[in-house]
């Protein structure tokens, strides 16, 4: 086990208190699983003010340790979907991204160690997030607007995946972990391991994982062809990743560097070109550059389209204590990422995407000013995006961002006040349209009142603005994965025959060629959100209660409007970027539009200790989203209610839980109702303690025990890819 000098421990505590807490637990394995369910003071690494989740006015949840291992899945969306207030986009388990309070995509920022993950997942639900939870130490979830720290793309919330690829603490000796898991529903096999070694001056880390899964099983259902199916075709995944990093420790801090490689092949279920016979004519010039470099790959033979992405990520992280007078800590975070994402069918790359991103953040925690602690920071980011092939429905674009922010905090006895502001400049450039400039401004105010040691109230008020992203503005083409034809905000539809709004034509598909796509004189405006969040947290000897209610008024809310028109009714559908597929499929037309919207709801969780061994818990969450002028925001997840019973012994625990997803009938235009369903799950965790110097934990789970058929309402392919059927899984994790 580890041995640290008092000086090294003091530096580690200042630089990363959360990691220190984890190490103290590792050094006291006999106490680790005594099941003390009081809230731990886990520091949120993404907060520059060293705040624990429980101390923040904004609702923050941190998943770590056994909970993270218990719910760890192939995607971050599936890993987090059981947390109150979070669900998942669920483009099958292979591409599932977090949904926070009904918002996802460009409004939910996904971070890796404080910087954007740098992928194309925010532009489409079929694109997987390039993060890995099996090698993570903790995952931090900010529910609600988090634009002050992370920019306008965080107007709905933030998920920050924290790992040890850049060691933050001196390591005198060697420590590490390894794990493996199996699950039945997709025959999934996962292994992962990591080692950190060093001394008082240097630390070196290496970690990695490998995962393979077949097409997943579902309860019998009628597929798109009217046949009974029990497997979701083309839902496999084949993942591989590793990170290497090193840090040098100074007398007052550290500087570290890491390189990470992530490769993934995964099926895209439901992907269809309609009546397209895949002639592969003009697009072959693009395909031949890539298609045969991996002819040996076993997935080339898979029916349907599958995605292959490769990401290289370089990151430099540094923290310095008291570098100059007035600055208590300076944190620097730089990242450079390259990503290629190809979609392959019958051995050819039908669509190819590439992304290159550079990001820099500098945050300085300053000394108190008139009693106010605070931090100032800057964020700079540039992203170059290129798309080619059949689904290149957005042009190449460059997005640059520059932002400055200031956060303040002060204690007034039992009350802590938080305040902050951010100013940002966003520029979007393409070769086909004039450069678009946005200047989002955000501000927030929060208060935490500690009534006593057990009871806390919180209030958070925020105003945040969001700049539309490139695909919301410039899209114009078929997106076969979601079975839609997307039209961005720089365009508008004209009815050549009737001169009426497109939504009035319920039978537009009969008017072939009657709609024309034209460039608008003005683009989408900034979204402007006003959010209020009220929370109460009670932690008694036997009873725990946590609740948040929120109201979010978003003016000029950007959404995809299902027009009721089909793409074969469009004239010159691909006049800007013809790929030879203008009329190969009749797809519903979705136009990015803006309306004022209201979102409100709650998250409530509670548990009661019946005695030292038995605990009873419950939770519910709900988001209601509607337009101010009438109608419902589309694709909002259903309300959930859950109940669980837990049993604890010194070396093992068990949990039986049931979660019911309510019927979702508050539906958007041209959507249909999704019926409710319930999932019964059981988990058993065994901690044999120290075995040959290793702290071992064994996890067994049974999910959807009753094999219930269920559909995720907010999924674009819910009718083609239901939720997984009965799953039995087992896993082991050891630390040394």
DSSP string, 383-438: EEEEEEETT--S--EEEEEEEEEEEEEEEETTEEEEEEEEEEEEEEEESSS--EEE
Task: Taking the CA atoms of 315, 319, 320 and 325 in sequence, report the sign of the dihedral they define.
Answer: positive
Q: How many CA atoms lie within 13 A of 202 on its CB side?
A: 5
Q: Is the pLDDT at 187 greater than 80, yes or no?
A: yes
Higher pLDDT, 279 or 476: 476
Strand partners, 307: 266, 343
Nearest CA to 118 among 383, 449, 470, 330? 383
Using 50, 70 and 90 to split pLDDT, how confident is the model at 494? confident
412 Cβ neighbours under 8 A, 6+ residues apart: none
CA–CA separation, 145 and 158 (whole Å): 8
Element at 9 (helix H, strand E)? helix 6-15
Using 50, 70 and 90 to split pLDDT, how confident is the model at 502? very low
Q: For 346-361, how does the pLDDT look when each residue is reduced to its tens digit (9 = 90+)?
A: 888 989 999 999 999 9
Strands (E), 467-513: 476-479, 484-487, 491-495
Tokens 């092939």 appear where? Answer: 389
Q: Is the pLDDT at 302 greater than 80, yes or no?
A: no
Using 50, 70 and 90 to split pLDDT, how confident is the model at 685? very high
Q: Is the pLDDT at 275 greater than 70, yes or no?
A: no
CA–CA separation, 268 and 630 (whole Å): 35
Higher pLDDT, 125 or 336: 336
Higher pLDDT, 50 or 88: 88
CA distances from 90 to 74, 203, 520, 604, 735 (A): 12, 38, 33, 23, 32
Average pLDDT over residues 308-330: 96
Q: Is the pLDDT at 500 greater than 70, yes or no?
A: no
Using 50, 70 and 90 to split pLDDT, how confident is the model at 39? very low
**pLDDT at site 65:** 85
Element at 459 (helix H, strand E)? strand 455-466
Under 8 Å between Cβ of 352 and 344: no
**pLDDT at site 38:** 43
**pLDDT at site 347:** 85
Average pLDDT over residues 642-661: 97
Q: Is the pLDDT at 425 greater than 50, yes or no?
A: yes
Lowest mean pLDDT among 47-51, 209-213, 280-284: 280-284
Q: For 630-649, how does the pLDDT look when each residue is reduced to its tens digit (9 = 90+)?
A: 999 999 999 999 999 999 99
Q: Give the predicted TM-score (pTM) of the model.
A: 0.87
Q: Is the pLDDT at 485 greater than 50, yes or no?
A: yes
Average pLDDT over residues 140-168: 93
Strands (E), 304-396: 306-324, 327-345, 348-369, 372-389
**pLDDT at site 497:** 63
Q: Is the pLDDT at 94 greater than 80, yes or no?
A: yes
Nearest CA to 244 among 256, 228, 231? 256
Using 50, 70 and 90 to split pLDDT, how confident is the model at 690? confident
Using 50, 70 and 90 to split pLDDT, how confident is the model at 482? confident
Delimit the domains of the chain by residue range: 6-735
Average pLDDT over residues 398-407: 97
**pLDDT at site 21:** 33
Higher pLDDT, 247 or 299: 247
Angle made by CA atoms 680, 126, 266, in degrees to the nearest 5: 80
Three-class SS state of 311: strand
Q: Which two tokens stand for residue 87?
A: 């669900």
Cβ-in-10-Å burial (0-12, 13-18, 19+) of 580 comes to middle
Give domain 6-735's CATH number out of 3.30.1300.10, 2.40.170.20, 3.40.30.10, 3.40.50.300: 2.40.170.20
Nearest CA to 489 among 504, 470, 503? 470
Q: For 559-589, how does the pLDDT look when each residue is reduced to its tens digit (9 = 90+)?
A: 999 988 898 888 754 444 444 344 456 889 9
**Candidate ranges 75-84, 277-286, 492-501; pick with highest mean pLDDT:** 75-84
Nearest CA to 29 among 733, 730, 688, 731? 688
**pLDDT at site 40:** 52
Cβ-in-10-Å burial (0-12, 13-18, 19+) of 501 comes to exposed
Element at 195 (helix H, strand E)? strand 188-198
**pLDDT at site 583:** 42
CA distances from 243 to 69, 128, 205, 610, 676 (A): 19, 19, 8, 44, 41
Under 8 Å between Cβ of 698 and 730: yes
- Among residues of the chain, what percentage have pLDDT more than 70? 85
**pLDDT at site 483:** 86
Report the relative pairing of strands 108-112 and 157-162 from DSSP bridges: parallel
- Among residues of the chain, what percentage have pLDDT more than 90? 69
């Amino acid at each position: 086990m580890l041995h640290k000098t008092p000086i090294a421990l003091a530096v580690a505590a200042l630089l990363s208190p959360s990691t220190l807490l984890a190490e103290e637990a590792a050094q006291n394995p006999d106490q680790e699983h005594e099941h003390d369910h009081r809230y731990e003071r886990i520091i949120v690494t993404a907060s520059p003010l060293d705040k624990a989740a429980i101390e923040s006015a904004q609702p923050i949840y941190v998943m770590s340790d056994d909970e993270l291992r218990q719910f760890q899945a192939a995607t971050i969306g599936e890993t987090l979907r059981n947390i109150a207030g979070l669900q998942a986009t669920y483009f099958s388990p292979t591409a599932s991204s977090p949904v926070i309070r009904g918002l996802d995509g460009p409004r939910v920022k996904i971070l890796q160690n404080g910087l954007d993950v740098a992928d194309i997942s925010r532009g489409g639900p079929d694109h997987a997030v390039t993060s890995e939870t099996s090698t993570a130490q903790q995952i931090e979830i900010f529910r609600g607007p988090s634009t002050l720290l992370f920019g306008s793309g965080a107007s709905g919330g933030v998920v920050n995946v924290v790992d040890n690829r850049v060691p933050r603490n001196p390591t005198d000796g060697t420590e590490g972990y390894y794990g493996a898991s199996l699950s039945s529903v997709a025959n999934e096999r996962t292994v992962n391991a990591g080692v950190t070694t060093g001394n008082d001056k240097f630390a070196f880390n290496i970690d990695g994982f490998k995962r393979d899964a077949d097409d997943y099983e579902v309860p019998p259902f009628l597929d798109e062809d009217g046949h009974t199916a029990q497997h979701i075709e083309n839902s496999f995944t084949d993942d591989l990743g590793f990170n290497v990093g090193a840090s040098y420790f100074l007398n007052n801090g550290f500087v570290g560097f890491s390189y990470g490689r992530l490769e993934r092949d995964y099926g895209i279920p439901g992907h269809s070109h309609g009546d397209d016979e895949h002639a592969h004519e003009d697009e072959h010039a693009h395909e031949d550059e890539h298609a045969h470099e991996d002819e040996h790959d076993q997935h080339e033979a898979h029916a349907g389209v599958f995605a292959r992405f490769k990401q290289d990520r370089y990151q430099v992280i540094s923290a310095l204590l008291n570098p100059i007078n007035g600055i208590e800590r300076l944190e620097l975070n730089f990242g450079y990422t390259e990503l290629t994402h190809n979609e392959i069918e019958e051995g050819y790359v039908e669509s190819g995407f590439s992304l290159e991103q550079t990001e820099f953040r500098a945050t300085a925690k300053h000394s108190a000013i008139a009693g106010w602690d605070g931090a100032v920071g800057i964020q700079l980011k540039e992203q170059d995006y290129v798309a080619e092939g059949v689904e290149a429905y957005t042009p190449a674009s460059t997005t640059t961002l520059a932002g400055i922010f200031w956060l303040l905090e002060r204690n007034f006895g039992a009350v802590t006040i938080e305040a902050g502001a951010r100013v940002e400049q966003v520029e979007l450039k393409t070769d086909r349209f004039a450069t678009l400039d946005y200047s989002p401004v955000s501000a927030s105010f929060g208060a935490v009142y500690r009534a006593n040691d057990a009871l806390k109230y919180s209030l958070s008020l925020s105003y945040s603005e969001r700049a539309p992203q490139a695909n919301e503005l410039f899209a114009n083409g078929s997106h076969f994965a979601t079975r839609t034809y997307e039209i961005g905000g720089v365009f508008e539809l004209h009815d050549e025959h009737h001169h009426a709004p497109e939504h009035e034509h319920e039978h537009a598909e009969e008017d072939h060629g009657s709609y024309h796509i034209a460039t608008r004189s003005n683009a989408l405006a900034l979204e402007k959100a006003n959010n209020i969040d009220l929370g109460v947290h009670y932690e008694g000897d036997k009873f725990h209660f946590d609740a948040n209610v929120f109201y979010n008024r978003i003016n000029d809310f950007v959404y995809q409007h299902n027009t009721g028109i089909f793409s074969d009714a469009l004239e010159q559908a691909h006049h800007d970027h013809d790929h030879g597929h203008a009329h190969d499929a009749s797809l519903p037309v979705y136009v990015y539009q803006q309306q004022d919207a209201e979102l409100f709801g709650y998250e409530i969780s509670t548990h009661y200790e019946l005695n030292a061994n038995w605990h009873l818990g419950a939770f519910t969450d709900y988001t209601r989203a509607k337009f101010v002028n009438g109608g419902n925001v589309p694709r909002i997840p259903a309300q959930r209610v859950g109940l669980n019973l837990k049993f604890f012994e010194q070396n093992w625990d068990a949990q039986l839980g049931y979660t019911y997803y309510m019927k979702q009938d508050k539906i958007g235009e041209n959507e249909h109702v999704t019926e409710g369903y319930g999932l019964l799950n059981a988990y058993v965790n065994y901690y044999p303690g120290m075995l040959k110097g290793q702290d071992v934990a064994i996890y067994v789970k049974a999910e959807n025990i009753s094999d219930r058929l269920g559909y995720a309402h907010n999924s674009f392919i819910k009718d083609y890819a239901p939720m997984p059927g009965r799953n039995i899984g087992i896993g082991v994790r050891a630390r040394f």
